[in-house]
Every structure is written in C-alpha cells, then in structure tokens.
C-alpha cells in the first residue's frame, strides 16, 4: 500500500521540532526545565508553519501580491505576539506600539495611532505624559490579551472613555498626571476595572492637513518595590509565555481567513460587534468584502448621523491588513468627505481616480475588505454598496460632487504623507 504523503507544513514542522530537540539534548539531558522550554518553543514553530500553510489554502491567495501579503500578515501576528507576550512586565510596564503601518494585523484604522500597556489588575500605577495634538484620545481597559486565555473569549473590553472625561489633571501646557488603580487614590484618579489587565490607547487623527505631535504615555507602578531583575527566570512563566505565543498565533489566524468570512457574498455591507475581541464598546463597525475590476467602480452611500463624534471608511487586503494609507488615498474620514445637501456621504471605490473628492483607492487590490467605523454616533443605518461600470460614473453620481484635478490630488497625497510622517515621528 502506498503511504500517504506528508503535508508541506508537517514536513517543515517535524523537521524543525527534531532540530530544536536535537540541539537541546546536548546540554539539557539532566535539565528538565530547559527541555520544557525547548518543547514549548518547538510547539510554537509548528504553529507558525501551520499559519503559512493556511495562507496557501486560501482561495484568494492566487497571485504574487496576495501570497506575499499573506506571509507578511503571518509575521505581523508573530511580531505582536512577541511584543505583548514575551517582552511584557506588568511591574515595569512599557508603551508598546500596537496596530498600524508596521504592526499591520486585524484591521488597524488609518485615523488612529495605537498603543498598549499590560498591567496587574491589583496594581497602583502613576500615568503621566503630554496630551499631544490628536482630536480625540480613547482609553480602553480590557481583560486579557490574545493567547493569555484558552477558548474563544480572548479579550473582553471593560470600558472605553475619552481622555477629556477622565480626571487627568491636564495643565495649560498639555501635560497630565493621574493614578490608575482599583481603589480610590488621593488626587487625580481613574478606576481600574475588575480584572482589567491591559490599557489600550487610541489617538484619533482626523484632519490630515496638520503636522501633529503625538501624545506621550508613561506608566510607573508605585505600590510595589522595584525588582532586582526584570528578567524572566521562572520556568513556569517562560513556558506559559511561549504557550501563549502559540495560542495567540492560532487564534489570530482568524484575520488570515477574513476574505473567506462573507457567506452573503461580495459587495454587501453588514454590521459587526467587536467589543468581545478588543474593539470599542461605543463604536459601530460596518464591513464588506469588496470585489471590483479595473473597468468597474463601487459606489458607497451612507447617511451621516446628525450627532457623531467620528467616522471613517478604509480598505484592507483579504488578510485584514490596512492598505498603504500614508501614501495612497485608501481611506476617508469625517474631516475628508464632502457631504451632499442631504448629509449623505457618497464615496467611490475604484482602481482609477475618478476626479472626485470622495474617492477611495484600491491600491491594486481587486478584492479586499471594506471597513467602516462610527464612534459615539446616534442612530446610524448600514451603508449601501453597488457596482457600476467605471465609464458610467459621471452619469450615476449625484450632481454637485466636489471635483479634484490631477494636480490637486498630488497635493492632497503630499499633505497626507507629511501628516503620516509627523504622526509616527519619522
């Protein structure tokens, strides 16, 4: 009988597993702790290889650009796991840049700058820094991070609150300081919610016609003496972190499958809830898988609520990686869109520039994810999306749409890039 062929992933995984163990046994025959760490590492490598196999299995991974971006998405997930699981110390928390152009996984918003602190739910922390130029700052307390817990509920968002609604003690120069803990403290104080062990920060940069200064965030634990060493020396902790890294890689594979998660078909917008996965409680999400050829265009229409703190629409590839928003107009937000007299946002998604203000560029991606966000809004309907021929746009678009010349578009993109560079201090 002919033996079944071993899958590519299993070949890689088994080979790597054997290689790791063969290296370790030379010095760890009598060191069970080291063997435990080596096995946990080898298990993670198997999981990482499986993520690569998952990329090759996706129907949309059928071109050079999609295959490469898939592997890139795998490594983005690996990098964020490293930062949040292998690097963190809740007694000496550090600001970890999270989501964005470099850490590009699971749908970062182009209008946000993200950061993360990992905390002890019972700790007392001093939070201080500079307010910066963001139009809005959202502080999100959450319980859990990907991989820390078993099962589906990896993260539970406990509270979202804007910076201006916290007793931060911000002064005239824009500097602030307050205490974060689960018990009331003297002076400026914000309650750390039950079981909350992470502080997720979003800065909202809405007007891209600016050269903004980002905020700074410093957190010090003030209820516990400093450790002599912050190195991980406990084997149980080391194995837990490596196992958590494996679990995070496995769980976040859901982002790699995003292009296949629309049973209703392409170009049909649905509403989402993400507050059980790290999303904001007070924000609504609208999402569709878009599909548009070079001779076509998609028209999106959305009646903007009268009261809405912020809203945006952006494009992502099929692996939920945001497209190149620092150099291409792949997203629009509430400060960029020209509304009609009825308060309706009409946007055009296409390969070619139609010469209107409300264009969203697919940046060479025939398929991908369309994602809208509406923060602190009143009643809002789900956007509609319809496909037309590109040559019919002038006939079917509403009269009076703001036009943009080729020269004006180049200036817009130059301003966008300048804002992007300042936001990330580049």
Q: Are 132 and 100 in contact (CB under 8 A)?
A: no
Q: CA–CA separation, 294 vs 299, rounded Å?
A: 14
Q: Are 123 and 220 in contact (CB under 8 A)?
A: no
pLDDT band at residue 275 using 50, 70 and 90 as cut-offs: confident
Q: In the chain, where are the structural domains located?
A: 8-87+251-255, 96-235, 258-423
Pick the CATH number of 96-235 from 1.10.8, 2.40.160, 2.60.120, 2.40.50: 2.60.120
Q: What is the pLDDT of residues 235-264, one digit of tens each?
A: 999 999 999 999 999 999 999 999 999 999
Q: Cα torsion for 238, 241, 247, 251, to the nearest 10°? A: -170
Least confident of 57-71, 267-281, 308-322, 381-395: 267-281
For the cut 50, the answer to whether the pLDDT of residue 28 exceeds it is: no
* Helix and strand element counts for the chain (H, E): 7, 18
On the question of a common fold for 96-235 and 258-423, the answer reads yes
**What is residue 29's predicted lDDT score, i.e. its pLDDT?**
45
**What is residue 20's predicted lDDT score, i.e. its pLDDT?**
52
pLDDT band at residue 181 using 50, 70 and 90 as cut-offs: very high
For the cut 60, the answer to whether the pLDDT of residue 8 exceeds it is: no
The CATH architecture to which 258-423 belongs is Sandwich (2.60)
pTM score: 0.90
Paired tokens of 222? 């003030």
């Amino acid at each position: 009988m002919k033996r079944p062929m071993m899958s590519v992933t299993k070949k890689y995984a088994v080979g790597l597993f054997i290689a790791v163990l063969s290296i370790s046994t030379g010095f760890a025959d009598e060191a069970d702790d080291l063997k435990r760490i080596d096995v946990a590492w080898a298990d993670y490598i198997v999981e990482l290889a499986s993520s690569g196999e998952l990329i090759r299995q996706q129907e949309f991974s059928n071109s050079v650009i999609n295959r490469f971006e898939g592997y890139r998405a795998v490594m983005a997930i690996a990098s964020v796991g490293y930062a949040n699981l292998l690097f963190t110390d809740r007694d000496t928390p550090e600001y970890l840049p999270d989501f964005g152009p470099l850490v590009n996984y699971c749908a970062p918003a182009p209008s946000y700058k993200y950061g993360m602190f990992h905390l002890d739910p019972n700790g007392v922390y001093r939070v201080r820094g500079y307010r910066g130029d963001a139009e809005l700052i959202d502080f999100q307390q959450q319980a859990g991070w990907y991989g820390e817990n078993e099962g589906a509920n990896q993260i539970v968002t406990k509270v979202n609150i804007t910076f201006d609604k916290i007793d931060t003690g911000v002064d005239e120069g824009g500097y602030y300081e307050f205490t974060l803990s689960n018990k009331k403290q003297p002076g400026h104080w914000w309650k750390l919610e039950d079981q909350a062990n992470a502080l997720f920060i979003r800065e909202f940069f809405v007007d891209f016609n600016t050269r903004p200064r980002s905020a700074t965030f410093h957190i010090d634990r003030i209820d516990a003496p400093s450790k002599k060493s912050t190195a991980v020396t406990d084997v149980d902790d080391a194995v837990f972190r490596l196992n958590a890294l494996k679990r995070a890689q496995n769980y976040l594979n859901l982002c790699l499958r995003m292009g296949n998660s629309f049973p209703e078909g392409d170009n049909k917008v649905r509403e989402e809830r993400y507050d059980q996965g790290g999303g904001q409680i007070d924000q609504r999400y609208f999402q569709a898988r878009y599909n548009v050829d070079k001779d076509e265009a998609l028209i999106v229409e959305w009646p903007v609520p009268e009261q809405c703190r912020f809203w945006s629409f952006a494009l992502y590839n099929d692996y939920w990686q945001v497209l190149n928003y620092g150099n291409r107009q792949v997203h629009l937000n509430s400060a960029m869109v020209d509304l009609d007299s009825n308060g309706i946002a009409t946007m055009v998604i296409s390969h070619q520039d139609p010469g209107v203000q409300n264009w969203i560029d697919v940046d060479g991606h025939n398929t991908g994810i369309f994602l809208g966000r509406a923060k602190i809004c009143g009643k809002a309907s789900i956007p509609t999306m319809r496909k037309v021929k590109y040559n019919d746009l002038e006939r079917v678009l509403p009269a009076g749409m703001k036009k943009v010349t080729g020269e004006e578009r180049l200036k817009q993109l130059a301003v966008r890039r300048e804002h992007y560079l300042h936001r990330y201090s580049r």
